[in-house]
Chain A
Amino acid sequence: MKKFRLLLLMPVFFVALLAAAPRGGELRLCLRGEPKSLDPLMVTDEPSEVVRYLTSGILLRRNRRTQQLEPELASAWKVGNAGKRITFHLRPDVRFSDGTPFDAADVEYTLRRLADPGLASPAGEIFRTAARIQRFERPNPLEISLEFASPVSALEDLFDEAPLLSSRSPIKEKAVLGPFRLAHYRRGVSLRLERNPNYWKVDSAGARLPYLDAILLEIQLNRDIELTRFRRGELQLISNLDADSFDRLRRQAPGEAVDAGASLESEMLWFNQSPAAPIAEYRKAWFRSRAFRRAISEAISRKDIVRLVFRGLAVEAAGPFSPAAKFWYNPRLAPPRQDTESARKRLAAAGFRRREDRLLDAGGHAVEFSLITNSGNRNRARIAALLQEDLAKLGIKVNVAALDFPALIERLNHTHDYEACLLSLSGIDLDPNDQMNVWLSSSSHHPWNPRQAKPATPWEADIDRLMKQQAASYDPQERKRAVDRLQEIVYEQAPVIYLVHPYALMAVGASVRGTEPSALKPRLLWNAERLYLERPVAGKQ
């Protein structure tokens, strides 16, 4: 009889458990632009990336907090043949949002589409170049092996960004495996994502994820309006705040301002060393002089940039990898401290001399250069003003020219008609392979001297070799050694003078629970399936 009563009470118990689970609610946040494509394979911009991340399923995920790989739709994986083969074991009983079952055929279909040159998927570029798949093997519906033409470094990371599609669903790419699916899209206004009823993941208590009912992504370009609406409680998350807004927010609502430490981004300065640049030869000689570049680097007060421009919300930079890239960061390289005297000595040793308050080169030319940057960025305008004063102490005159972005890019990439540039490297990934186009001397995006037929200097040849070496190796330690050496060369030669790494700054509403803020993108949404809104307790305001 007792057992019977217990059985009767079981459904009541489960209903109570479900009610207590932190389910429900609609999370509201802003996208800072219209998504250019809702096709997960054709994503190129950040708003589309957010939608893709929230709706698509992936095989493996790099945990944005620990930076370790975690199983997603692949419950296990194994890399073999020195990085030329990977085998995935897929989770059973997984279904797309429309109920279509998921299996190895879908993985093969997705990867074939990503590698299709006719589709030219931006997300699949790597599968058409460095990671060409030679053979697929599907011994059973829940296992798939991929054989690559050559060893692929950071092989598993490729599957953190490969959104899986259904090969059989009648609604094609609208069938998703992610925690949410697109419910409604009002062009220019908002996108509403609702819970995917077939999402496979459950929490430790067995409750089905995601906790949220929906996410409303409002399209809002104006950051001030976004912040005002957040303060009014109309939005619950802001994934990216500038230092000024963050500083104000942390004074007004300290609990809502979230700082995840240094981001992967860098503010940096470089001199044009391109032989094709239409600038005087004696100036090119300054820019090619290691002593000149090191002296400039030493004369700059990075501490003041952090304190005055970023309100303490940045770290001084020594090189291309910030402390946010836990594995790749080289802690042996300390950011250069401002030392005007040492900078003067370096310049004197290189043949520069002072006359009154100006610095002259060996040929008697007064040292003066223009510094271009993009207009409308207040932080960069402030950095430029600080550089002007720091370098004036050496007798160097800096003329700042703020250009609109197309004009800036035209000069950087096409005419090469500039002397120095102050810009940021943003939107970068954790893995050094993502910076291949920055470091290879043959690349069109190699900042100081692009498109070199062969490396102009021995140290640039070394950088090329190290980048290729790390890209060809599957061994993480071997890759790390190569990347560490690369950072040392960049530090010694200063072709790019790294200034600061700004912090990853965010805002999280008081009602939001489950966030694990990270400096890596998507900073607050990477674990969207575990976010929920705290329900107001009855009778309590």
Chain B
Amino acid sequence: MKVRSSAAAVLLILLLVTAIGADWIAPLPYQQQNREEARQSPGPAHWLGSDDLGRDLWSRLLHGTRVSLLLAAAAALLATLIAAAVGVTAAYCGGCADRLLMSLTDLFLSIPWLFLLLTVRALLPLNTPPWESMAITFLLLGLLGWAGAARLVRASALARLASPFALQAHAAGLSPPRLLAFHLLPNLTPVLEAQFLLALPAFLLGEANLGMLGLGVSEPLPSWGNLLAGLTSPGAVAESPWLIAPAVLVLLSLLAMHELFGRSRRIA
């Protein structure tokens, strides 16, 4: 058990380090086209081979990891914070505020987010630089992805508010902000962590889906999504199996997160 957790921790740390340090670790700029070296197999010059335009796939994978992992984490954090705010407010205030917030939650749950994302992306100014358009994509994922978690947070918060410690704190005359900040939220941490960990792969896959549709991060910026788009043809994968590297990385990172955070929660 400990070995698995350690391995997961090492992997995640490695991923984070490569994500942050991609500019220094990557052997070549991710956008550099070496047109005479297109479609090369893995070798000393290109560890993971090169793509159709002669771009170094290893460098693109490192930069793609930064884009996807950091921004998916940021989007998941945003979604979790919104879910916490909505869920806790609804549970604590009750009455009209509860009904209103839960109706809003239902509304967000019923939105076909993929189509909404497509619409919003179509409305973005066309000259939006790739980094900005990508940040907007993840921001939208975060803004749209909180609703399911908010319902869970509300249910958990209601249960905690009815528990003896909360009643005691209330009876002792604790102010609502203090009750929420020092008693309720710490008790909701496991739920919020779980929601964060559920949102993270969902957003990673959301970006990957957009990338597969050609609507994700725009050229020449790489992301796991647009690197995964190279896997749409089974023939191409059979011929160049190293193309599955981004898929392996997505899978490993998700397993590592599950192993590390899921296990620590179960222990807690």
Contacts and interface: CB of A to CB of B under 8 A. Distances in A.
Q: Output the residue of A381, A401, A404 with the most chain B CB within 10 A.
A: A401
Interface in A346-402: 368-370, 372, 374-378, 381-382, 384-386, 388-389, 399-402
A399 B220 contact: no
B118 A308 contact: no
A461 interface: no
B262 interface: no
Contacts of B236: 244, 248
B52 A399 contact: no
B106 interface: no
Contacts of A384: 219
A309 B128 contact: no
Nearest to A417: B126
Interface string A241-266: 00011001000000000000000000
Nearest to A386: B53
Contacts of B232: 224, 378
Contacts of A381: 214, 219
B94 interface: no
B52 A419 contact: no
A401 B218 CA distance: 7
B35 A248 contact: no
B233 A245 contact: yes
Q: Output the residue of B54, B127, B239 with the most chain A CB within 10 A.
A: B127
Interface string B206-238: 000000011100111000000001001111100
Nearest to B238: A248
B162 interface: no
Given A228-B234, A308-B35, A385 B220 contact: yes
Interface in A178-195: none
A227 to B, nearest CB: 7
B122 A404 contact: yes
A308 B234 contact: no
Interface in A218-250: 224, 227-228, 244-245, 248
Interface size grouping (class) on chain B: 20 to 34
Give the dominant DSSP class at A's interface: helix
Contact of B127 (A307, A308, A370, A403): A370
B42 interface: no
Q: Output the residue of B54, B215, B229 with the most chain A CB within 10 A.
A: B215
Nearest to A408: B122
B233 A224 contact: yes
Contact of A375 (B33, B35, B53, B213): B213
Contacts of B35: 304, 307-308
B38 interface: yes
B218 A378 contact: no
Given A402-B215, A404-B215, A224 B235 contact: yes
B54 A308 contact: yes
Interface size grouping (class) on chain A: 35 or more
B108 to A, nearest CB: 22
Contacts of A403: 121-122, 215
A478 B116 CA distance: 53
A210 B239 CA distance: 40
A308 B38 contact: yes
Contacts of A376: 213-215
Contacts of B126: 370, 372, 399, 401, 417-419
B130 interface: yes
Contacts of A228: 234
A538 interface: no
A20 interface: no
A375 B52 contact: no
B129 interface: yes
Nearest to A309: B52
A407 interface: yes
Contacts of A418: 126
Contacts of A375: 213-215
A382 B128 contact: no
Given A388-B219, A401-B133, 20 more contacts: A224-B232, A244-B235, A245-B233, A248-B236, A308-B38, A370-B127, A372-B126, A376-B213, A376-B214, A376-B215, A377-B214, A378-B214, A378-B229, A384-B219, A385-B53, A399-B130, A404-B213, A407-B119, A410-B122, A419-B126
24 contacts: A224-B233, A224-B234, A227-B235, A228-B234, A245-B235, A248-B235, A304-B35, A307-B38, A308-B35, A308-B52, A309-B52, A370-B127, A376-B215, A381-B214, A382-B52, A382-B53, A388-B219, A399-B130, A400-B130, A403-B122, A403-B215, A404-B215, A407-B119, A419-B127
Nearest 10 pairs between A and B by C-beta?
A: A375-B214, A370-B126, A407-B122, A376-B214, A385-B219, A401-B126, A370-B127, A375-B215, A400-B219, A248-B235
Interface of B: 31, 33, 35, 38, 52-54, 118-119, 121-122, 124, 126-130, 133, 213-215, 218-220, 229, 232-236, 239
Interface of A: 224, 227-228, 244-245, 248, 304, 307-309, 368-370, 372, 374-378, 381-382, 384-386, 388-389, 399-404, 407, 410, 417-419
